[in-house]
Amino acid sequence: MTDLIRGLRRSLGEVDQILSGEREPVREVIHDGYIVVEIKENGETIWKLSDAIKQLKSTNWTGVETPAEFFRITREILGQTQRAMADICGVSVRTYEEWEIDTRPIGARSAGKGFLINLMASEPNAVVRVARKPPKVGFMV
């Protein structure tokens, strides 16, 4: 048996122990939908979305030259996957991926490149809050 298979079996055994309550997980990632809101290690919080939002608000964006850079850096600061960022922005995962590699312009649905970028940079908490609980409106922009 290879080391890879032995390691996989050991990991699956640990998962069984965690699920049965025999063992505590070392790392716990807490989600709200697809959005990561907190990470704990050994029961202690090591990362919170609210802290990342504060960091995002205090980031100096003057060196960022393209929307793709902005979206990639924002996602990294917020500690999110592309899928979570797509939820936050209200677009498909494919659209968000294309924004990050600069192959798709940011269109009218997001009210234009400048608006979305400025909103995310200045009010990331509001953007995340709306992503968690979108308002019920009868139209789409």
pLDDT of residue 81: 92
Q: 55 and 113, same structural domain?
A: yes
**How crowded is the C-beta side of 89, counted as CA atoms within 13 Å?**
33
Residue 140 inside a domain? The answer is: no
Residue ranges making up the domain that contains 128: 48-132
Q: 77 and 67, same structural domain?
A: yes
Residue 61 inside a domain? The answer is: yes
Single-letter code of the amino acid located at 1: M
pLDDT of residue 108: 43
pLDDT of residue 113: 46
Number of domains in the chain: 2
Q: How far apart are CA 56 and CA 50, in angstroms?
A: 10
Residue 96 inside a domain? The answer is: yes
Q: 83 and 37, same structural domain?
A: no
Q: Residue 107 sits in a domain of what CATH number?
A: 1.10.260
Q: How far apart are CA 109 and CA 106, in angstroms?
A: 8
pLDDT of residue 48: 92
pLDDT of residue 116: 64
Last residue of a domain, one of 31, 47, 63: 47
pLDDT of residue 1: 64
> What ranges in the chain are assigned the alpha helix state H?
3-20, 49-57, 67-78, 82-89, 93-100, 113-122, 124-132
Q: How far apart are CA 140 and CA 121, in angstroms?
A: 22
Q: Mind listing the pLDDT tens digit of every residue in the chain (141 residues)?
A: 688 888 889 888 988 898 898 988 888 889 888 888 899 988 899 999 889 888 888 888 888 888 888 889 889 988 999 998 888 877 889 988 988 887 766 554 444 445 666 677 777 777 777 666 655 544 343
Q: 118 and 80, same structural domain?
A: yes
| CB neighbour burial string for 74-88, b if at least 16 within 10 angstroms, e if fewer | bbeebbbebebbbbb
Residue 139 inside a domain? The answer is: no
Q: 101 and 34, same structural domain?
A: no
Residue 15 inside a domain? The answer is: yes
Q: 115 and 69, same structural domain?
A: yes
Q: β-pairing, 27-32 with 35-41? A: antiparallel
Q: 52 and 40, same structural domain?
A: no
